[in-house]
Amino acid sequence: MAEETTANSKNQPKYKRIVLKLSGEALGDRTAGDTISGEILQRIALEIKKVHDLGVQICLVVGGGNIFRGKLGAASSQKVDRTTGDFMGMMATMINGLALMDCLEKNGVPVRVQSALHIEEVAEPFILRRAIRHLEKGRVVIFVAGTGNPYFSTDTTAALRASEIGADVIMKATKVDGIYDADPVKNSGAKKFDQITFIDALKNQYAVMDSTAFSLCLDNEMPIIVFDMNESDSIRRAVMGETIGTLVC
């Protein structure tokens, strides 16, 4: 009986409630000129479905950089006011969130979108207890419009929402397969870390998240897994506790 229990535990997810952070750029295809690629959306949706089918409670936080990024807009020749630009970026996250919702639902995954800005015709307002109830009912919850405040990134949103809902981990999907001691593109000898501490990440200034988001994770002891979203089965493997990407804890 003991051996059977151990075998069953190995087949159970290590993390029961997660926040998956996706960049807006991850949804686009620059080669094809698509701001939102249907093919990429489908691939992401199927990866999320694998994890959802394991019974894992999933929240998504998606950026809007494929459409508009407030900080860059303020620095561009157009000189968009930073506050205005950030609100434009929040609206972009809504577009991405609705696209993810539509694709997930077409693949049989129930979804609710909650927004920090009130646009009740297309999304529920963010209400913590309601979000947790959705998770308990097996629905994926997509948080859009950031925190509802300018000057805060979607990384900060992920850190804040993860802390609020009592997530086990933040999974940050990127274009690289973890954190290195140097830029792996420029330095072929760069060393990849399987695991590092928050203190080491801070001391060596590794670009895990922006400082506000990282401080929230540090203060609330919220682990972060940085991994390559383009690697097949990566989300499921991370959820199951396999060594993938880099764990910051």
Annotated binding residue 24: yes
Q: What is the DSSP string of the chain?
A: -HHHHHHHHHTS-S-SEEEEEE-GGGG-BTTTTBSS-HHHHHHHHHHHHHHHTTT-EEEEEE--TTT--HHHHHHSTT---HHHHHHHHHHHHHHHHHHHHHHHHHTT--EEEEESS--TTTSEEP-HHHHHHHHHTT-EEEEESTTSSTT--HHHHHHHHHHHHT-SEEEEEESSSSEESS-TTT-TTPPEESEE-HHHHHHTT--SS-HHHHHHHHHTT--EEEEETTSTTHHHHHHTT---SEEE-
Q: What is the pLDDT of residue 205?
A: 80
Q: What is the pLDDT of residue 24?
A: 87
Residue 9 lies in a domain: no
Annotated binding residue 23: yes
pLDDT at 87 over 70: yes
Q: What is the pLDDT of residue 170?
A: 97
Residue 240 lies in a domain: yes
Residue 180 lies in a domain: yes
* Residue 184 belongs to domain with CATH number: 3.40.1160.10
Count of domains for the chain? 1
| CA 119 – CA 136 distance, rounded (Å) | 24
pLDDT at 151 over 50: yes
Q: What is the pLDDT of residue 184?
A: 80
Annotated binding residue 206: no
Annotated binding residue 200: no
Residue 54 lies in a domain: yes
Annotated binding residue 228: no
pLDDT at 124 over 90: yes
Annotated binding residue 219: no
Tens digit of pLDDT for each residue in 152-201? 999 999 999 999 999 999 999 988 888 898 888 788 788 889 999 988 88
Annotated binding residue 150: yes
| CA 224 – CA 249 distance, rounded (Å) | 7
Annotated binding residue 194: no
Tens digit of pLDDT for each residue in 222-242? 999 999 988 889 999 999 999
Annotated binding residue 35: no
Distance between start and end Cα atoms, the chain:
34
Annotated binding residue 55: no
pLDDT at 69 over 80: no
Residue 132 lies in a domain: yes
Annotated binding residue 147: yes
Annotated binding residue 77: no
Q: What is the pLDDT of residue 181?
A: 84
Annotated binding residue 183: yes
pLDDT at 79 over 80: no
Residue 46 lies in a domain: yes
Residue 1 lies in a domain: no
Using a cut of 0.75, tell me whether the model's pTM lies above it.
yes
Confidence category of residue 29, pLDDT binned at 50, 70, 90: confident
Annotated binding residue 64: yes
Containing structural domain, residue 26: 15-248
pLDDT at 77 over 60: no
Confidence category of residue 204, pLDDT binned at 50, 70, 90: confident
Residue 224 lies in a domain: yes
pLDDT at 8 over 50: no
Q: What is the pLDDT of residue 4?
A: 42
Mean pLDDT over the full length of the chain: 89
Annotated binding residue 38: no
For the CA atoms of 164, 212, 177, 171, the dihedral, rounded to the nearest 10 degrees, stands at 0
